[in-house]
């Protein structure tokens, strides 16, 4: 199966009006008719047949402005800002939507073209309520940038001051301000076509057209999974995340509050983008210092609970396998990962009948919250009621997750605030911090230092790779390095939408002490796994998840899997809805590179070797992985929601 991003239009759910022209491109560009010549602004080039004028121009280093076009999405051709002159055509043509199938001559910035673009901008601005100072996209806004590039020095067709729409802030994750919407429909295509959720649609027509939810319900009352992918692809501030920074500052400034922050792996590879650095510049340790500088009392590494998740989820998997293989019980397999809250909500809405397959292990964020207000509070001698637990996440759905009513196992709200990468960047700016120049600082105890196994959680396939490293070692007694060179489980890496891997268990060893701590384990050796082949799969983006779940329901290949990693966002967390804007396949690939480089640089790259994790079991979760205590604090339950919400 191929990556969603590279999906062809034929399986797209987008109406044909919003699709590019699919010219069957000859597999062999050398073949006759495989290429076509084009002259753009006097430069001649040969391009594969069916290439759009926009792509051809970009390949030549020529810039054509765009708004409704996005590299992850189907072509729309609706904003018309990209119009160019094509010789012999009466009207201007949208460069993003015009496939070159015969030799043409194109001009990208004639007087006609510039006048048209300027007026199109003027029209957009005439309805755009809001001022850039008060806008979170200020200096990172495609509309604003174009206004500057095209020298907009007055509002030719006026500038509306009065709001026409109410801001929808019903969701814990996504905020909609339709007065800033320019109707490019990138969010619509993101939601229905990239994610295949289908929350947003254009309704009404003419100048009454607007982006709406089903029956105009608040976002909180529809099937939105909070993935925030629409936010990342909105060119303006019409979509944003619910921003808790004001409250976080208040708590930071309150001397009675002990404010701690855990930091997930993906933001480190991206926060540099908020400071003008190229994507994939890791700033992990600079960030630690900066967070202390702005007033966080402790900085923890979410990798700790990522590793813990692996132990818990891995043990859960072994228990399920034992039930299935030995006890011959009817147990839900494959086991699905549960660390992506967008994916969890997707399953709750669209496949509630599959909830038994979801691992009961909480996500690393929520495990951490529960431990901070119990284990850490105890150890540090701090009243958990005075602890404010923040979480730096790449993910808008994490904001929602920490507000799920069941996430209070510590006796308090386990995680108080989900902060996303963009928001922390903003807090740094506000405090005058030039992040790249910060000295390096380390993470605070008692949760130890970063591990590679936790870091790779940030990329699609990372959870699976970490799980394989651990499960293989725990079961075989071998070193993973002897199975996969440098402990790099390459088959599960990459950006293909769905990856399927078979992993024969090469040997069996002793049941390790860590697992034996749980006295309730139904097995004392691994004989029952002798000769077994572990079948796993990795998938990212809910559109791909949907295909995998449908395949499982139909009894296909994936129904034979034991364990499947699902991430709601294309690319996994590094493509999360809280990450710096913009996003593109190249940007996500650069972030992934940084994440894997960081993994390779760590000494500890296996969850079960994380000394802090081992200590936690010894000192606190004394009945071992999946024991009573861990069940209370580290596991959860789910809510069948269905598609139809009252």
Partner 1 sequence: MSAVKKGLVTFAAAVPEEGLKAALARPRSEVIAEVTASKLRGRGGAGFPTGVKWNLAAAATAPAKWVVCNADEGEPGTFKDRVILAEVPDLVLEGMTIAAWAIGAARGVLYLRGEYAYLRDSLEKVLARRREKGLLGTGILGSPLSFDVEIRMGSGAYVCGEETALIESLEGHRGEPRNRPPFPVDCGYRSEPTIVNNVETFACAAMVLAKGAEWFRGIGTEVSTGPKLFSVSGDCREPGVWEFPLGITIAGLLAAVGGEGAKAVQVGGASGRCVPASEFGRTLAFEGVPTGGSIIVFGPRRDMLHVAENFLEFFVDESCGQCTPCREGNAKLLEGVRMLREGRCSWAYLQELQKLGEVMQLASKCGLGQSSPNAFLSIVEHFRPEIMGRTAGGNA
Q: In terms of CB distance, is 68 or 306 closer to ligand FES? A: 68
The token pair at 69 is 């076009």
Establish if 143 lies at the interface with ligand SF4 (CB under 6 A). yes
Cα–Cα separations (whole angstroms), residue 465 to 84, 365, 404, 476, 493 = 47, 19, 28, 16, 8
For 549-585, give one letter per residue: b (16+ CB within 10 A) or e.
Answer: bebbeeeeebeebbbbbbbbbbbbbbbbbbbbbbbbb
The interface region with ligand SF4, picked from 113-121, 230-238, 366-374, 523-531 by CB under 6 A, is 230-238
**Residue 161 touches partner 1, criterion: CB under 8 A:** no
Rounded distance between C-alpha atoms, residue 295 and residue 74, angstroms: 44
Look at residues 600, 594, 263, 610 and name the one whose alpha carbon lies nearest to residue 420: 263
- Phi, psi at 410, each rounded to 5°: -75, -5
| Residue choice 64, 211, 252, 536 for contact with ligand SF4 (CB under 6 A) | 211
Q: Kindly state the number of chain residues that form the binding site for ligand FES, as judged by CB under 6 A.
A: 13
**Could you give the CA distance from residue 47 to residue 38 in angstroms, rounded to a whole number?**
7
Q: Does 81 bind partner 1 (CB under 8 A)?
A: yes
Catalytic residue among 339, 402, 561, 569: 339
Instruction: Specify the DSSP class assigned to residue 39.
Output: E
Catalytic status, residue 313: yes
State both tokens at 593: 């590179």
Is 316 an annotated catalytic residue? yes
Q: Which of 33, 151, 208, 255 binds partner 1 (CB under 8 A)?
A: 208
Judged by CB under 8 A, the residue of 1, 21, 41, 622 near partner 1 is 21
Q: Binding of partner 1 at residue 568 (CB under 8 A)?
A: no
Q: How far is the CB of 108 from ligand FES (least distance, A)?
A: 12
Closest contact distance (angstroms) between CB of 263 and partner 1 is 41
Contact 288, 296 (CB under 8 A): no
Binding flag, residue 77, ligand FES (CB under 6 A): yes
Distance CA 239, CA 230 (A): 7
CA distance 58 to 586: 15
Indicate if 339 belongs to the active site.
yes
Distance CA 505, CA 355 (A): 28
Q: Are 335 and 273 in contact (CB under 8 A)?
A: no
CA dihedral for 625, 626, 628, 634, sign (positive or negative): positive
142 is catalytic: no
Sequence-ordered alpha helix ranges (H) in 93-244:
111-126, 142-149, 186-189, 229-233
3-class secondary structure, 417? strand
Considering the rule CB under 6 A, would residue 562 count as an interface residue with ligand SF4?
A: no
Which of 183, 415, 487, 545 touches ligand SF4 by CB under 6 A? 183
119 touches, from ligand SF4, partner 1, ligand FES, none (C-beta below 5 to 8 Å by class): partner 1
Which of ligand FES, partner 1, ligand SF4, none interacts with 230 (beta carbon under 5 to 8 A by kind)?
ligand SF4
Burial bucket for residue 175 (CB in 10 Å: 0-12, 13-18, 19+): buried
Evaluate whether 398 touches 244 at the Cβ level (below 8 Å). no
Whether residue 401 lies in the annotated active site: yes
The yes-or-no answer on residue 573 being catalytic is: yes
Catalytic, out of 173, 359, 396, 453: 359
Choice from 120, 211, 498, 592 touching partner 1 (CB under 8 A): 120
Interface with ligand FES (CB under 6 A), residue from 68, 124, 407, 468: 68
| 200 near partner 1, rule: CB under 8 A | no
The nearer residue to ligand FES, 81 or 468, going by C-beta atoms, is 81
User: Is residue 236 a contact point for ligand SF4 (CB under 6 A)?
Assistant: yes
Cβ nearer to partner 1, comparing 121 with 407: 121
Alpha helices in 418-570 (DSSP H): 421-430, 452-455, 462-476, 480-483, 513-516, 542-553
* By the rule CB under 6 A, 234 interacts with ligand SF4: yes
Distance CA(415)–CA(398), nearest Å, equals 10
Interface residue with partner 1, options 54, 57, 174, 182 (CB under 8 A):
182
Q: Which residues pair with 175 in a beta bridge?
A: 240
Of 6, 44, 131, 406, which is the active-site residue?
A: 406
User: Can residue 590 be called a binding residue for ligand SF4 (CB under 6 A)?
Assistant: no
Q: Is 359 a catalytic residue?
A: yes
Q: Which of 228, 244, 282, 571 binds ligand SF4 (CB under 6 A)?
A: 228
Residue closer to ligand SF4 (CB basis): 84 or 97: 97
Which residue in 4, 7, 19, 69 binds ligand FES (CB under 6 A)? 69
Contact residue for ligand SF4 among 7, 69, 117, 128 (CB under 6 A): 128
The yes or no reply on residue 82 touching ligand FES (CB under 6 A) is yes
Binding ligand SF4 by CB under 6 A: which of 62, 100, 124, 200? 200
Q: Tell me what percent of the chain is helix, strand and coil, each rounded to the nearest 5.
A: 40, 15, 45
Burial class (CB in 10 A: 0-12, 13-18, 19+), 255: exposed
Q: How many residues bind ligand SF4 (CB under 6 A)?
A: 39
Which residues, listed in sequence order, are joined to residue 168 by a DSSP beta bridge? 176
* 71 vs 384 by CB, closer to ligand FES: 71
Catalytic residue among 401, 465, 473, 565: 401
Beta strand pairing call for 258-263 and 298-301: parallel
**Per CB under 8 A, which region of 163-171, 203-211, 373-381, 558-566 contacts partner 1?**
203-211
Residues counted in the chain: 646
- CA–CA dist 267, 269 (Å, integer): 5
For residue 500, the cross-strand partners are 537
Q: CA-to-CA distance for 106 and 239, rounded, in angstroms?
A: 35
* From 4, 80, 180, 608, residue interacting with ligand FES (rule: CB under 6 A): 80
Nearest by Cα to 574 from 247, 282, 213: 282
- Taking the least distance from each CB to ligand FES, the nearer of 64 and 395 is 64
Residue 452, both tokens: 């590679």
Lay out the site mask for partner 1 across 279-318 (x = CB under 8 A, - = otherwise). ----------------------------------------
Residue 19 lies near ligand SF4 (rule: CB under 6 A): no
Sign of torsion over alpha carbons 545, 312, 606, 610: positive
Q: How far is the CB of 116 from ligand FES (least distance, A)?
A: 12
Q: In whole angstroms, what is the distance from residue 198 CA to residue 193 CA?
A: 8
CB of residue 101 vs ligand FES: minimum separation in angstroms?
Answer: 18
Of the pair 82, 125, the CB lying nearest ligand FES is at 82
Q: Which residues of this protein are in contact with ligand FES, per CB under 6 A?
A: 66-69, 77-82, 94, 96-97
Q: Which residues of this protein are in contact with partner 1, per CB under 8 A?
A: 10, 15-17, 19-23, 75, 77-81, 83, 91-92, 94, 97-99, 101, 112, 115-116, 119-120, 123-124, 126-127, 156-157, 182-183, 202, 204-209
- Report the catalytic residues: 313, 316, 339, 359, 398, 401, 406, 573
Q: Which residues of this protein are in contact with ligand SF4, per CB under 6 A?
A: 128, 130-132, 135, 137-138, 141, 143-144, 174, 180-187, 190-191, 195, 197, 199-200, 211, 224-230, 234-239
């Amino acid at each position: 199966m191929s990556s969603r991003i590279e999906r062809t239009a034929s399986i797209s759910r987008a109406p044909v009006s919003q699709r590019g022209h699919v010219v069957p491109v000859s597999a062999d560009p050398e073949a006759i008719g495989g290429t076509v010549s084009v002259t753009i602004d006097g430069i001649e080039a040969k391009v594969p047949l069916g290439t759009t004028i926009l792509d051809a121009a970009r390949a030549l280093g020529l810039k054509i402005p765009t708004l409704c076009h996005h590299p992850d999405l189907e072509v729309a051709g609706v904003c018309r800002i990209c119009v160019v002159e094509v010789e012999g055509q009466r009207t201007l043509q949208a460069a993003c939507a015009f496939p070159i199938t015969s030799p043409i001559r194109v001009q990208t910035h004639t007087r006609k073209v510039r006048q048209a673009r300027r007026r199109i901008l003027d029209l957009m601005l005439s309805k755009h309520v809001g001022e850039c100072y008060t806008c979170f996209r200020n200096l990172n806004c495609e509309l604003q940038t174009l206004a500057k590039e095209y020298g907009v020095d007055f509002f030719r067709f006026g500038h509306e001051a009065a709001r026409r729409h109410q801001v929808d802030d019903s969701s814990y994750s996504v905020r909609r301000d339709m007065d800033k919407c320019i109707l490019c429909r990138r969010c619509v295509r993101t939601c229905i076509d990239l994610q295949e959720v289908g929350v947003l649609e254009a309704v009404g027509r003419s100048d009454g057209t607007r982006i709406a939810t089903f029956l105009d319900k608040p976002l909180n009352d529809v099937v939105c999974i909070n993935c925030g992918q629409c936010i990342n692809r909105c060119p303006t501030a019409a979509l944003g995340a619910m921003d808790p920074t004001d409250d976080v500052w208040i708590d930071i400034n309150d001397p009675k509050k002990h404010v701690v922050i855990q930091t997930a792996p993906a933001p480190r590879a991206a926060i540099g983008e908020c400071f003008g650095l190229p994507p994939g510049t890791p700033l992990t340790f600079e960030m630690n210092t900066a967070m202390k500088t702005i007033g966080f009392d402790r900085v923890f590494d979410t990798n700790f609970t990522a590793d813990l998740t692996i132990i818990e989820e891995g043990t859960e998997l072994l228990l399920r396998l034992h039930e299935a293989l030995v006890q011959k019980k009817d147990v839900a397999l494959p086991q699905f990962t549960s660390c992506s809250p967008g994916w969890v909500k997707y399953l709750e809405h669209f496949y509630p009948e599959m909830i038994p397959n979801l691992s009961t292990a909480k996500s690393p964020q929520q495990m951490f919250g529960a431990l901070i207000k119990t284990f850490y509070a105890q150890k540090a001698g701090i009243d958990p009621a005075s602890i404010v637990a923040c979480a730096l996440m790449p993910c808008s759905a994490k904001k929602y997750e920490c507000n799920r009513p069941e996430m209070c196992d510590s006796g308090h709200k386990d995680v108080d605030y989900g902060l996303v990468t963009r928001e922390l960047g903003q807090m740094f700016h506000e405090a005058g911090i030039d992040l790249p120049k910060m000295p390096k600082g380390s993470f605070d105890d008692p949760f130890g230092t970063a591990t590679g196994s936790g870091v790779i959680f940030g990329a699609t396939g990372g959870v699976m790779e970490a799980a394989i490293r651990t499960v293989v070692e725990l079961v075989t007694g071998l070193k993973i390095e002897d199975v996969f060179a440098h402990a790099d489980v390459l088959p599960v890496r990459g950006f293909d939408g769905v990856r399927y891997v078979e992993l024969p268990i090469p040997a069996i060893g002793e049941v390790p002490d860590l697992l034996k701590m749980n006295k309730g384990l139904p097995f004392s050796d691994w004989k029952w796994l002798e000769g077994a082949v572990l079948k796993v799969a990795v998938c990212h983006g809910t559109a791909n998840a949907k295909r995998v779940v449908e395949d499982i329901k139909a009894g296909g290949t994936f129904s034979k899997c034991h364990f499947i990693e699902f991430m709601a966002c294309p690319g996994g967390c590094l493509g999360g809805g809280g990450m710096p804007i913009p996003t593109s396949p190249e940007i996500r690939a650069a972030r992934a590179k940084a994440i894997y480089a960081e993994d390779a640089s760590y000494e500890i790259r296996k969850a079960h070797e994380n000394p802090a994790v081992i200590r936690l079991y010894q000192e606190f979760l004394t009945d071992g992985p999946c024991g009573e205590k861990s069940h209370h604090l580290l596991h959860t339950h789910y809510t069948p929601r269905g598609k139809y919400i009252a």
